[in-house]
Amino acid sequence: MKRQGSLVCVGTGMQLAGQITILAKSYIESADVVFTLVPEAYTERWLEKLNGDVRSLQGYYAKAGEIKNRRDSYAQMVDAILIEVKNGKDVVCAFYGHPGVFACVSHLAIEQAKEEGYSAQMLPGVSAEACLWADLGIDPGTGGHQSFEASQFMFYQHTPDPCAHLLLWQIGIAGEHTLTQFSTSSEKLQVLVEQLQQWYPAEHQVVLYEAASLPTQSPRIERINLADLPEAALSGITTLLIPPSKPLSHNDEILSKLGISATDLG
């Protein structure tokens, strides 16, 4: 039996107001409480016009000069959300972009709410990846794509396919493992460059991408050589796109079993 009180996690999209879905907006308008985790004040103020009780979760992050593990911040955010759900309120959490992509608070809160017998769900939103494909004019279906968080890519035995696009997220904190810092260093980025050179030449052109957060802005699309990455200006929303360095190769064994010749593929 479901308890009174509910949780819905929604995404605001990457651009103020314009990329939020009609369904997500309706949940925000009808909620008893709306928690927000968005990077700028414009979206917060817009959300405040939709609902009279909007509360920012930004205050749980480390203050200036404070060293605080982000896991502790996330746990405190989840606690704040669940308190209102347990109070029998219909709670909405509005996250920047897609509510389930690089947004562990939503997953943790939904999991805990369900475990305790409350109704909880997530609605999809327009993500940075969706904007990237549109802004760069790339169809990832033509050759495939692979996607990793940059530090995870460095710490574990991932092997990228140089025939497909490679996305490395949160490149601005690549190599950071303490969860207390919000930036990386040129030395750590050099380690990443050397790692990537197993599959990509130093002069291979890569793209630094940042989705526009306002309709009046343009996305950042900066092409540099892979070797120049350690000196590049990076922010918390920078994504590294590495285009394919090799063409697709036919799988002759499978084609033979299927009775298909390479020329049949065009």
For this structure, is 70 an active site residue? yes
Residues 6+ apart with CB under 8 A from 254: none
For residue 4, what is the DSSP state?
Answer: S
* The two three-digit tokens of residue 130, written as one number: 């969706």
Cα separations (Å) of 125 from 99, 166, 168, 179, 189? 7, 22, 20, 26, 30
What is the CA 94 to chain-centroid distance, rounded?
Answer: 14
For this structure, is 96 an active site residue? yes
- How far, in Å, CA of 66 to CA of 222, rounded? 33
Cα separations (Å) of 14 from 43, 71, 182, 214? 10, 24, 20, 8
* The two three-digit tokens of residue 32, written as one number: 């008893």
**Which residue of the set 60, 96, 118, 209 is catalytic?**
96
**Which residue of the set 27, 60, 74, 200 is catalytic?**
74
**Which residue of the set 42, 55, 61, 70 is catalytic?**
70
* Neighbour count for residue 34 (Cβ, 10 Å): 25
Please list the active-site residues. 70, 74, 96
